[in-house]
Amino acid sequence: MTQQTETSQRPVLVVDFGAQYAQLIARRVREAGVYSEIVPHTATAKEIAAKEPVGIILSGGPSSVYEPGAPSLDAGVFDLGVPTLGICYGFQVMAKTLGGEVAQTGLREYGATDATIAGDGGVLLAGQPAEQNVWMSHGDQVSQAPEGFEVLASTSATKVAAFGNDDKRFYGVQWHPEVKHSDHGQRIIENFLHKAAGLPADWNSGNVIAEQVEKIQAQVGTGRVICGLSGGVDSAVAAALVHKAVGDQLVCIFVDHGLLRKNEREQVEQDYVASTGVRLVTIDAREQFLNALAGVSDPEQKRKIIGREFIRSFEAAEKALIAEAEADGQPIRFLVQGTLYPDVVESGGGTGTANIKSHHNVGGLPEDLQFELVEPLRTLFKDEVRAIGRELGLPEVIVGRQPFPGPGLGIRIVGEVTADRLEILRDADAIAREELTKAGLDNDIWQCPVVLLADVRSVGVQGDGRTYGHPIVLRPVSSEDAMTADWTRLPYDVLSKISNRITNEVREVNRVVLDVTSKPPGTIEWE
């Protein structure tokens, strides 16, 4: 297994100016084999220098550089001698800070735009067609490049659509190379990383495992560790990684909180244990969770209650295992969490952005937490987690499983969570997943949340009688990392089959609707 080099341990920093694509930029950098992290634009040059970046990318953003209070960058960042790439708003910030001109010409470009490469395109655009389609989203534009910069591309409305300074290793493009709508966008990012910055493509799942195993061993030592398995990919991979690092010091706890999908308990107890050899203890906490959630409809409160009860379950498990721990004098001090980078970002961590939602892996933990957290996946995106799971030898039935929220069906019931409502949703969810699998669509969608509108009643006709049943919402989405998503255009015959089966087979449901909202503005989950 390849060990990480000094370079691959140091990050390319993506400076977030409020762009919806900042996380996507970070992901594209990692696809090029280079480690990346996101920092807020408010970070000072000293704070950025402390991270020892090997490259800096300035993201786009919704603001105008002329607006009062518009996001800015500490000019000292450009004195650090670090190769830097500006994208869209970041391109304009770079131009303005370094003495160029940004103008409000009234000429706007949005969406697909034809760009013309000047000469050989320089280091940044080398090896690309002279004419190419790019994805624009701007009102202002760079009207004059800073002194010492060469104009590398233009469009009919923007004479300075890209520039570069090879001596300083500063580059910028007005368009968005991180989106797939830009024909050669990934090539631009790779040229910046590998040619301009001279970075090797040496960051991969193998050396992530090696690094994390070393970190886990250093953190845990000879201590005992517990991990809550949910049946999902994140906790499964996190536990397998910790098990690789500390072996039998880890005990996995599977809490049957009653918020699971159909047959998930059996899958965890059989499939996962067989593939890893991890010791598993199952706790039946269905009544505990239902009692705690009784009368609660607010989604944030539900998330916090579920997170709290998870921890209380772990604490109860610790007491049950205390006799074993006393044998070697090692109490259970550590708790493994399958926190991913999108969880951190959406919970307001890491970028200085506002909290979108609390997450049971991030924002829903009680203040009196008795364990020290071990979060080996905290800097990773979902596709990277799957790659690590495959590298660790986990079966595809687990690694390829669709994402499922830690709070389970509790946040897919809009309204109070009750045993009856859970059974309704469990049956509807099982039908939807079964029909998607039959149609061969599992690899075409990111996930398909099935939501019960428990506090809504819709009129219907069933068996020649008038009914007042609950609506079920289908939310099939396509995404790469859950930071952005679009609704999946499922075939009508598949949708019809799902709808017919749910309304025929699931009691108290007389209507099935389709959610066709992208993210943004809507999140993937309803709560």
DSSP-based helix, strand, coil % in the chain, nearest 5: 35, 20, 40
β-sheet bridge partners, residue 38: 14
Q: Active-site residue 88, yes or no?
A: yes
Whether 470 is catalytic is: no
CA 414 – CA 391 distance, rounded (Å): 38
Of residues 41, 176, 359, 360, which has the active-site annotation?
A: 176
Residues near 95 by beta carbon (within 8 Å), at least 6 away in sequence: 86, 101, 102, 142, 144, 145, 146, 160, 163, 172
| C-alpha pair distances (Å), 60 with each of 78, 171, 178, 241, 330 | 17, 14, 10, 35, 50
State the residue for tokens 């590998």.
Answer: 194
Give Cα 138 distance to the centre of its chain.
26
Q: Which two tokens stand for residue 447?
A: 């996930």
Beta strands in 176-235 (DSSP E): 224-229
- The catalytically annotated residue of 41, 109, 178, 184 is 178
**Residue 133 DSSP SS3:** strand
430 φ, ψ (degrees, to nearest 5): -65, -40
Q: Strand, helix or coil at 70?
A: coil
| Residue 227 among the catalytic residues | no
Rg (CA), the chain: 25
Task: Supply the DSSP string of 417-435, one letter for each residue.
Answer: --HHHHHHHHHHHHHHHHH
Q: Which two tokens stand for residue 458?
A: 């819709």
Largest CA distance in the chain: 79
CA pair distance 38, 218, nearest whole angstrom: 25
- Encode burial over 140-168: b for 16+ CB neighbours within 10 A, e otherwise: bbbebbbeebebbbbbebbebbbbbbeeb
Is residue 10 within 8 A of residue 54, CB to CB? The reply is yes
DSSP summary character for residue 447? B
Residues in contact with 426: Cβ distance below 8 Å, sequence separation at least 6, in sequence order: 260, 261, 262, 409
Give the C-alpha distances (Å, rounded to integers) separating 57 from 22, 87, 382: 9, 7, 22
For residue 160, how many C-alpha atoms fall within 13 Å in the half-sphere facing its CB? Answer: 26
Active site residues: 88, 176, 178
